[in-house]
Amino acid sequence: MKQSHARLRVGAALAAAAALLLSSCALNEGESDPAGTAAEGDLTLRIGTTTDVANFNPLQSLSKTDSWILNAMYPHLLRLDENAEKVPELASGYETENDGSTVVFTLRDDFVWSDGEPVTADDVAFSAQAIMDNQLGNVAAKLTWVENIEVRDDVTVAFDLSQPYAPFAEGVGFWMSIVPEHVFSEAGDLTAFANDSDWVGAGAYILESMERGQRYTMRANENYPYAPEGGAAVQTVEYVVYPDINTMLLALKNGDIDLMGNPVPSSALGGLESDPNISVQSVDSLGFAHLTYNVTDETLARVEVRQALSMVVDTESIIATVLQGNGQPMVGPISPVFGEFDNPDLEPYPFDPAAARELLEDNGFTDGDGDGFLDGAQFEMICDQSNANLTRVAEVVRDDAAEAGIKLDLACIERNTFLARTKDGDYQIDLSQWGVFDNPMDQLRSTYLSSNPGGINYNLVQDPELDALVNEAATTLDQEQFVERIQGIDAYVHEQALLTPLYVEQFSFAYRSDRFTGFQPSPSDLLGMVTGYSLSQVTAAE
């Protein structure tokens, strides 16, 4: 007996030792001495994120969470301010020549790469050319019109376009990351360049080290021109990975992190309000939730049917219940976030199932079999099951539609399947949410042109009149006229009821207000609280 106990103990000890050995190689090895890293008074801000950085190459298509880190590291010509307006970042400004066919950016001369090289017009030209040559990511679509790029001097770069395109400068300025030519030109094939070590950036914070699955540590760039006098108060930004949002919430409450990068779900907001150490900042979405109708469907091709559907959607109560008030209604396809472009004269379709039923009956729909539903008014509505708000909206709309004699079959499916089906036009009604539109012109062009240049004309609409309206607006340089034309399209699409907008969500970002203050949030969960600019303005709370 004693013998067997002893054996057991030896076994356990051996096993424990083996386990230790296995992991000891990773035990904080290669880290500098913690005492040596931070000078007196330097602040470290820890941000929760749900997923690891998948791709460190800012020229490629990135996920939202990748963008948080990379956008802070690589400068953009323009940035989006708190009012969703494009303001100078690396560019000090831009102007057009040749009736809008040439767009000229003038750069600031005080941006410096973290290895000491200055940021010049050559870097801008290189980044754009590389994206065009390799058709990298969504920015390639923004550069569609570029025929030639001319570097006029160190701070001047001109893009010659095949035709004027009103929002060209804004689209490219906002979306395109500028990378250091002297690093990326040495990297070989840029479609396969991982860029996962020895980062050289010029944004507010530069990635310094990472432990995959755990944390990403960024250091403030002392040359970042927009940092306050004397440098950013937050010298270190650490992204910590919590795949589960509830775990991240607990970590914030416990003070393990200072800010949640991901928005707090509406259902969890109540629990944070009572915590005196935590504040919540609201930020508008740059996208919106909507029902979009596939007009290649025989029944949905009829405008009265789409209008009737718009009348069974109770946006007011959806915002109040599903979003718990954290959203605003919209009419037509242009979000109120874009201020002047949103046509103020549009009247929403009233929520009135009885009137909707009447409208359908006036147009020949009858309930022949007496089941309470109008014959032929039956549609499949697909949605992304990972969006908890939309799956609830789907049920609300289905129940209200039933009152009007419209039968909606819900198919809330796995996200990737959902994306593939919308891409293939394999649906009747698409209940979904646009992520980020940075300007109305790009949105209208991508969603309504018959040629479907962006692949997101989910209505599959082919309307020569609408095409003409969009193309006319796209080449309009006079601002007043441009606004008028966008408003005109807003009205046209609304009348056609190509979509039923649901809401513009407000994202809620929670942070430790007992420790930090001074975030400068921008709209959307792509930017939110964590842009390089915002983080560089943060100071310690009193």
In the range 408-447, which residues lie near another protein by CB under 8 A? 414-417, 419-421, 423, 434-436, 442, 446
By beta-carbon proximity to another protein, the closer residue of 12 and 87 is 12
Pick from 17, 54, 320, 354: which binds another protein (CB under 8 A)? Answer: 54
Q: Which stretch binds another protein (CB under 8 A): 108-116, 236-244, 484-492, 510-518?
A: 236-244
Residue-by-residue DSSP string for 80-107: E-TTS-EEESSEEEEEEEGGGTEEEEEE
Q: Report yes or no: 276 and 504 within 8 Å, Cβ to Cβ.
A: no
Footprint of another protein on 101-140 (CB under 8 A): 134-135, 137-138, 140
By beta-carbon proximity to another protein, the closer residue of 202 and 526 is 526
The answer to the question of residue 274 lying near another protein (CB under 8 A) is no
Residue 442 to residues 393, 445, 449, 456: CA-CA distances in angstroms? 27, 5, 11, 11
Pick from 43, 52, 125, 430: which binds another protein (CB under 8 A)? Answer: 52
Footprint of another protein on 484-523 (CB under 8 A): none
The answer to the question of residue 10 lying near another protein (CB under 8 A) is no
Distance CA 360, CA 145 (A): 44
The distance of closest approach from Cβ of residue 23 to another protein in the complex, given in angstroms and rounded to an integer, is 5
By beta-carbon proximity to another protein, the closer residue of 106 and 524 is 524
H-state helical runs in 373-439: 388-403, 415-423
Q: Which stretch binds another protein (CB under 8 A): 12-20, 99-107, 465-473, 480-488?
A: 12-20
Pick from 151, 456, 460, 541: which binds another protein (CB under 8 A)? Answer: 456
The answer to the question of residue 479 lying near another protein (CB under 8 A) is no
Distance CA 294, CA 309 (A): 13
DSSP β-ladder status, 43-49 and 259-260: parallel
Q: Report yes or no: 184 and 192 within 8 Å, Cβ to Cβ.
A: no
By beta-carbon proximity to another protein, the closer residue of 28 and 274 is 28
Distance CA 391, CA 388 (A): 5
Over the window 184 to 223, marking each residue x when it contacts another protein by CB under 8 A and - when it does not, the resulting string is -------xxxx-x--------------xxxxx--------
Distance CA 496, CA 301 (A): 10
Pick from 83, 162, 246, 366: which binds another protein (CB under 8 A)? Answer: 246
H-state helical runs in 101-191: 121-134, 139-142, 168-175, 181-184
The distance of closest approach from Cβ of residue 109 to another protein in the complex, given in angstroms and rounded to an integer, is 31
The answer to the question of residue 320 lying near another protein (CB under 8 A) is no
DSSP β-ladder status, 102-107 and 146-153: unpaired
Residue 332 in 3-state DSSP? Answer: coil
